[in-house]
Amino acid sequence: ARHRALGTFAAMGGLGGVLGTVLGGVVTDLLGWRATFWLNVLLAAVLAALALRVLDRRARPAGPGGFDLAGALTATAG
């Protein structure tokens, strides 16, 4: 399960980078940069509301530690 999750994570990161650039360019070309900005604001608000509804606040990490700051920074940096 871990291999599949890491593969999916890596694939979505690459796919998001490519599709985000292309779709962002198309939307900006058709509607302007302001529409692109507000579309991102709307998407972020919807996803934040969905996360608050779906994610379990009582869930604890599977491992013995808490938040892996070094791992999060490394994953974010690429």
Cβ–Cβ < 8 Å for 21, 29: no
Token pair belonging to 53: 């509804």
Q: Is residue 27 a part of any domain in this protein? A: yes
- The beta-carbon contacts of 33-38 under 8 Å, at least 24 apart in sequence, are none
35-78: per-residue pLDDT in tens? 999 999 999 999 999 998 888 777 766 666 677 888 889 988 87
In a domain, 63, yes or no: no
Please give the pLDDT value at position 39: 92
pTM for the structure as a whole: 0.54
**Residue-level pLDDT at 2:** 87
Residue numbers of the domain that contains 19? 2-56
For residue 48, what pLDDT is reported? 93
How many domains does the structure of the chain reveal?
1
